[in-house]
Structure 1
Amino acid sequence: MPRTRTKGSSVPKSSPFQPFTGLRQRDLKARVSTLEDQQFVLTLQHRLDADEAAKEKMVQSHREYAEQRWQMMTPHDIELVKSRGWEFVLRNVGIAGIREFTNVKCLHTHYAHYLATGNNLIGEWVQRLLDSAAIKRTKGLK
């Protein structure tokens, strides 16, 4: 479990929510930010809310993320986590600290998780939106 603050991070040293996936490429971050500015967090939340199978898929993604996070820890990390009372949180909280697994929190987070694992439906939807926007930009250049 990382124990140092990353440059520009608001996550305190030795926090239980150090991400192990994240967007690093500026262009991608900017493009996803544009989607967020265009209210796609809400759009995708509505889409998720309307689809029971999609909701179950996201619940499973969050559970797998929590399990993967736990499995990555060393015995020393586990000792630290237990001593600080973080075990429940690390075992039961999902991607980006999301507690309600059918909530869309941040498109960057879902997309980064999708790029890293291929297993995040919201991230997959973000990819489709980005692909669609790229096609529109390309057509505008002709």
Structure 2
Amino acid sequence: MLISPSEKQLEIIRQQLGREPRGLAGIAVQNDQEVPLVLQMDLLVDDKPFPTLYWMASKDIYQAIAEIETAGAVKELEQELIDNEALRAEHLADQQRYVDLRWASASEEQKQRIEELGFTPLYSKYGIGGISQWDKIRCLHMQYAYHLAQGSAIGRILDERYELHSKIASALI
């Protein structure tokens, strides 16, 4: 369920982003202290497609994921997608579910504007994080944001290997 941010949460989001939020549809995930962890974004921002539906807002979780990416996890996971057919199938299903969810989240007015601008094909082509090659991983931050909001194979692996889920309760910003 999408949460409309309170004034306090908007201030936290400004601190998290380091700027005024643009294209914010609402909070997709927050912790028990009501700290926004994942933001849901509008499909269009200033008449341009926003590359992702979910945006990792928590700086604490963002930093933990940055360290995991720096250690080479993206290449390792992409190799696993090649080697493990079941994981690959689950990941591709996650991509399709994401595309379907993203389009379903649009209002009729948004869909009409997207069609007027000629962007409709983009919303069926680009998966998690705006990637067109669905068997690849563009960004673990966007993968994990999607996982927290909806659940995903890559996010589950990140929780199992790196215990990212343990950072959720303690995230302060």
TM over 0.5: yes
Structure 2 residue 106 is matched with structure 1 residue 73: yes
| 1:6 shift after superposition | 5.5
Q: How far did 1:12 drift?
A: 5.8
Aligned-residue offset at 1:66: 0.8
One-letter amino acid matched to 1:121 = A
Deviation at 1:20, TM superposition (A): 2.8
Question: In the TM superposition, what whole-angstrom CA distance separates every residue of 1:50-94 from its partner, at most 9, and x where no partner exists?
Answer: 011111111111111111111111111111111111111112321
Percent sequence identity over aligned pairs: 22
**AA paired with 1:91?**
S
- Gapped regions of structure 2 (runs ≥ 5): 1-20, 25-43, 167-173
User: Which of residues 24, 29, 32 in structure 1 aligns to 2:65?
Assistant: 32
Identify the residue that residue 41 of structure 1 maps to in structure 2: 74
Structure 1 residue 18: Cα displacement: 4.8
- Structure 2 residue aligned with 1:137: none
The Cα offsets for residues 28-55 of structure 1, whole Å up to 9 and x where unpaired, read as: 1111000011011111111111011111
Alignment of 1:72-111 (within 5 A): 72-111=105-144
Partner residue of 1:15?
48
Runs of 4+ in 1 over 2 A off after TM superposition: 4-7, 11-15, 17-20
Structure 1 spans left out of the alignment, 5+ residues: 135-142
- Flag the structure with higher helix content: 1
Query: Larger % of strand: which?
Result: 2
1:58 aligns with 2:118: no
Matching residue of 2:30: none
Q: Which is further off, 120-129 or 106-115?
A: 120-129
Task: State the one-letter code of the partner of 2:22.
Answer: R
* Match of residue 139 from structure 1: none
Matched, 1:112 2:145: yes
Question: Quick check: 1:5 aligned with 2:22?
Answer: yes
Aligned to 1:138: none
1:17 Cα offset (Å): 2.5
Q: How large is the Cα RMSD of the aligned pairs?
A: 2.2
**TM-score, with length taken from structure 1:** 0.79
Contact 1:63/1:92, CA 8 A, preserved across alignment? no
Q: Deviations over 1:77-118 (max 9, x none)?
A: 111111111111112321111111110111111111111111
Counterpart Cα distance in 2 of 1:44 and 1:55:
10
